[in-house]
Amino acid sequence: MAWADMRDRMHQRVVAHLKDGCAQYSGPTGAPVVAGVEVIVDHNLMQNGPDGLFRSNAVGITWRKEQLAQAERGGVFVFGGVSYLVEETISDDGHMLTAACMVQP
């Protein structure tokens, strides 16, 4: 088994065990909705600031890149009946992405 296959299988298993469920994503320009994106939702996201780490009001949403290549600023994830507005992508290791989002009223 090739390294890439093992890595991909590891990512699938991690998300399968840690996911909070499936969300749908719609981009800011009205692009087609992507449904069934497995997400990990992290409330009170820890972020880096000038004085080190701080707890923010942002919500971190993490997903596998193979399910959704990117989330643009202004895009919206809908999960559990709540809409999360994408502020910025804060992590992209080429396989998993995390976006800092704000809850939309």
Name the residue among 84, 39, 89, 45 with its Cα closest to residue 64. Answer: 39
What is the C-alpha to C-alpha distance for residues 98 and 61, in angstroms, rounded to an integer? 5
What pLDDT, on the 0 to 100 scale, is given for residue 73?
96
Per residue in 30-78, pLDDT tens?
788 999 999 999 998 877 677 777 677 899 999 999 999 999 999 999 9
Residues in the chain, overall count: 105
Task: State the fold for domain 3-104.
Answer: Thrombin, subunit H (2.40.10)
Q: Sorting pLDDT into bands at 50, 70 and 90, what band is 1?
A: low
CA distances from 40 to 1, 3, 29, 50, 62 (A): 28, 25, 24, 27, 5
Per residue in 76-93, pLDDT tens?
999 999 999 999 999 999
Name the residue among 21, 57, 32, 40 with its Cα closest to residue 91. Answer: 40
What is the C-alpha to C-alpha distance for residues 105 and 31, in angstroms, rounded to an integer? 22
25 has pLDDT over 80: yes
